[in-house]
Amino acid sequence: MLTGQDRVGVLLCSRRFGEFWMGFDTDMTRGLDMGTNATQLQVAAGVIAGWNQLGRLKGIHFVEDLDCQEFVRLVSEVLGPPATFHDRSAKPTSLADRAVMSPQRVT
């Protein structure tokens, strides 16, 4: 039996406010229930939510042009509500240092 999860989200960091993460932590079972896996389910949810907004603007569509509230609402219908974590006391950490700290780093 497959087990595990996949996370996708955004991490905002500041010296004044610490770190804030918002995203989706999708368990493998959610994907298996739909005949796929957690990663593909997250990708599909994002594509569907973006695709739903096509035609609202003429020309090339950039991610910045999307209605982010509508996007998150539609993704949440597939993945469930987003998770949020806020650590006000987090010290600033550079991307290079985060890569060294990450236990999932592939070399």
pTM of the model: 0.73
Q: Are 20 and 11 in contact (CB under 8 A)?
A: yes
Spatial CA neighbour of 46 closest among 20, 2, 82: 82
Query: Helix (H, G, I), strand (E, B), or coil: what is residue 46?
Result: helix
pLDDT recorded at residue 25: 92
Q: Is 77 helix (H, G, I), strand (E, B) or coil?
A: helix
35-93 residue pLDDT tens:
899 999 999 999 999 899 888 777 887 878 889 899 999 999 999 999 999 999 988 88
Within 10 Å of residue 19's Cβ, how many Cβ atoms?
17
Q: Which backbone phi and psi does 28 adopt, to 5 degrees?
A: -55, -35
